[in-house]
Amino acid sequence: MRHGKKFNHLGRKTAHRKAMLANMACSLIEHKRINTTVAKAKAIRQFVEPLITKSKSDTTHNRRIVFSYLRQKEAVTELFREVATKVADRPGGYVRIIKLGNRLGDNADMAMVELVDYNELYNPNGKKKKKSTRRRGKKSATATPPVAAETKASEEEE
């Protein structure tokens, strides 16, 4: 019986599923954004959010726990250095899933998984682009506007 077991097996055996989720989590930490199917996106969110929470307190014990899940030293150092400092004040919800549509080959539902604090478009506290103020040159007093020139020409014809 499978009472109370809610995670998606993704059609894989346990070892393959854990390895796949670890590799996808390392790619997400490294690139800050990955494209995958919706089912894998939901599974990766469940997998990586507790690891990001553990990375907020940089202790040897937490590093070892996270390393036992991720199995890549570079991803662990990236997580504890850059990602943890960005999400230090966030109480949860570190990963965003944006649905993209269907894949051409097999019509699978695709989604983009990204770390929330690394997207400047959706982040209201992120870097704001300054508008470059451009001013038009002042019109010279001797030149007549085109509308006025047309009305003078029509008056002369009459």
49-96 pLDDT per residue, tens: 999 999 999 999 999 999 999 999 999 999 999 999 999 999 999 999
Model pLDDT, residue 5: 87
Task: Give Cβ neighbours of residue 89 (< 8 Å, ≥ 6 apart).
Answer: none
Could you give the percent of the chain with pLDDT greater than 90?
71
pTM over 0.85: no
pLDDT at 30 over 90: yes
Helix (H) or strand (E) holding 34: strand 33-37
Q: What is the mean pLDDT of the chain?
A: 88
Task: Give Cβ neighbours of residue 76 (< 8 Å, ≥ 6 apart).
Answer: 63, 66, 67, 70
